[in-house]
Amino acid sequence: METSRIALPIGTALDRFIKNNQDQFQYTTGELSQLLRDIALASKVVNREINKAGLIDIMGAIGSQNSGGEQQQKLDVLANIRFTRALSKGGEVCALISEETESYVDLNNEGKYVIAIDPLDGSSNIDVNVSIGTIFSIYRRKSKIGQPISEQDILQKGEEQVAAGYILYGSSTMLVYTTGHGVNGFTHEPSLGEYFLSHPDMIIPQDGKIYSINEGLSNSFSPGIKKYLQYCKDQNYTARYIGSLIADFHRNLLKGGIYLYPATSKDSNGKLRLMYECNALAFIVEQAGGKGTNGKERILAIQPTSLHQRTPFYVGSWNMVDKVENF
Ligand code: AHG
Ligand code: MN
Ligand code: MN
């Protein structure tokens, strides 16, 4: 049961914020709170490594491929190790889905939560000192404690997320997350090594003027998307595309805009992954008053059929995403 919510001021430390939120619910055991703290801690470790990227030998490709057949970067693998370690130790998580591992990991414990993670998003930007991120989705375990993890635990719809968030390693490092009661953003203060509330109750503008898409692929887009891109130009919109989903999404969340990764003639489902990229951002954007769709259906309503499935993705300001659906 939820009791009345007290707004906390800017500058509140993440730990206090999490604790305060937990105190507002009766019968909570604090496991979700601990899980969020574990993610925050792992992100600080990853942040530290990213900051040293040019100085130690952690840049470049490692020579292996991930679940999607893409070149793994050293930092992809390192971030995966850091987050996996942090999430396996606490005992709150019973199963882990990661972009960097082919199948899910059953942690064989009594944990109540399942987590899906993109440990490092935008890895092509690592070597060139451009913003990158981490994306996570948290679900409740469905199978009984003591029974092995099954498909029903793993292939859950986005609307079943209990929490989701991202870390943006940018000009400053930020943690943005939701537990289904609005979206809050925290900025990392490096000398104290703590996250502090900097963006309370984030709301995305209903309209915007920014469109973010890899327009170099436009020859292979559907006629509808080509027309929409022409519409953006006719409206004198601004094109902004970093190539790190998290950085593009975060900017549009603050300023108003739309991010598009449509189907292409090569990939009928586009590029982005439903379970550890799109679901988290769709949950966050809806909590902030925006919209996330695959062009036909709400992202959060899609029933996943496989771990690494891809989906076309349109996310951002409500009216802009609505418009794209009409095209
Ligand atoms: P990842 O680094 O986790 O594989 O994700 C890369 C994704 C996403 O971050 C970005 O928006 C998109 O790939 C860029 O794709 P294009 O290079 O095709 O534009
Ligand atoms: Mn990614
Ligand atoms: Mn990744």
Distance CA 159, CA 286 (A): 10
How far does the centroid of ligand 3 lie from the alpha carbon of residue 76, in Å?
A: 6
Atom number in ligand 1 closest to CA 118: 3
How far does the centroid of ligand 1 lie from the alpha carbon of residue 10, in Å?
A: 32
- SS3 label, residue 260: strand
User: Can you give the pLDDT at residue 66?
Assistant: 78
Q: Please report which ligand is nearest the Cα atom of 166.
A: 2
Atom number in ligand 1 closest to CA 70: 4
Indicate left, alpha or beta for 243 from its phi (over 0: left) and psi (-120 to 50: alpha). Answer: left
Taking each helix axis from N to C end, the angle separating 318-326 and 223-234, rounded to the nearest 10 degrees, works out to 130
- SS3 label, residue 69: coil
Distance CA 132, CA 242 (A): 10
Q: Which helix (H) or strand (E) holds 259?
A: strand 258-261
CATH for 210-326 (3.40.190.80, 2.60.120.10, 3.40.50.970, 3.20.20.70) = 3.40.190.80
Distance CA 46, CA 78 (A): 8
- Whether 122 lines ligand 1, by a CB cut-off of 6 Å, is yes
Any idea which fold 14-199 has? Fructose-1,6-Bisphosphatase; Chain A, domain 1 (3.30.540)
DSSP collapsed to 3 states, 16-67: HHHHHHHHCECCCCCHHHHHHHHHHHHHHHHHHHHHCCCCCCCCCEEEEECC
CA 315 to centroid of chain Cα atoms? 12
Q: Which helix (H) or strand (E) holds 281?
A: helix 279-287
User: What distance separates the 2 farthest-apart alpha carbons in the chain?
Assistant: 59
Distance CA 248, CA 211 (A): 9
Nearest CA to ligand 1 atom 7: 122
How far does the centroid of ligand 2 lie from the alpha carbon of residue 122, in Å?
A: 6
Dihedral angle computed from the Cα positions of residues 263, 268, 273 and 274, in that order, rounded to the nearest 10 degrees: 90
User: Can you give the pLDDT at residue 14?
Assistant: 95
- Please, what are the averages of pLDDT over each run of 10 residues along the chain (327 residues)? 69 93 71 93 93 70 73 85 92 95 93 96 90 97 92 97 97 96 96 96 98 97 97 98 98 98 95 98 98 97 97 98 95
Which segments of the chain belong to CATH 3.40.190.80?
A: 210-326
Indicate left, alpha or beta for 291 from its phi (over 0: left) and psi (-120 to 50: alpha). Answer: beta
- Residue of 72, 131, 261, 273 to mutate, ligand 1, most atoms within 8 A of C-beta: 261
How far does the centroid of ligand 2 lie from the alpha carbon of residue 133, in Å?
A: 8
- Residue of 245, 273, 276, 278 to mutate, ligand 1, most atoms within 8 A of C-beta: 245
Q: E strands along 104-254, which residues?
A: 105-106, 113-121, 132-140, 161-169, 173-178, 183-189, 194-199, 210-212, 238-239
User: 233: buried, middle or exposed (CB in 10 Å: 19+, 13-18, 0-12)?
Assistant: exposed
Distance CA 192, CA 194 (A): 5
How far does the centroid of ligand 1 lie from the alpha carbon of residue 27, in Å?
A: 40
User: Can you give the pLDDT at residue 155?
Assistant: 98
Among 72, 324, 287, 68, which Cα is nearest to 159's?
Answer: 287
Atom number in ligand 1 closest to CA 123: 2
- Cβ neighbours of residue 17 under 8 Å, at least 6 residues apart? 8, 184, 186, 197
- Residue of 121, 136, 217 to mutate, ligand 1, most atoms within 8 A of C-beta: 121
- Whether 173 lines ligand 1, by a CB cut-off of 6 Å, is no
pTM over 0.85: yes
Which segments of the chain belong to CATH 3.30.540.10?
A: 14-199
- SS3 label, residue 192: coil
Among 11, 6, 48, 57, which Cα is nearest to 199's?
Answer: 11
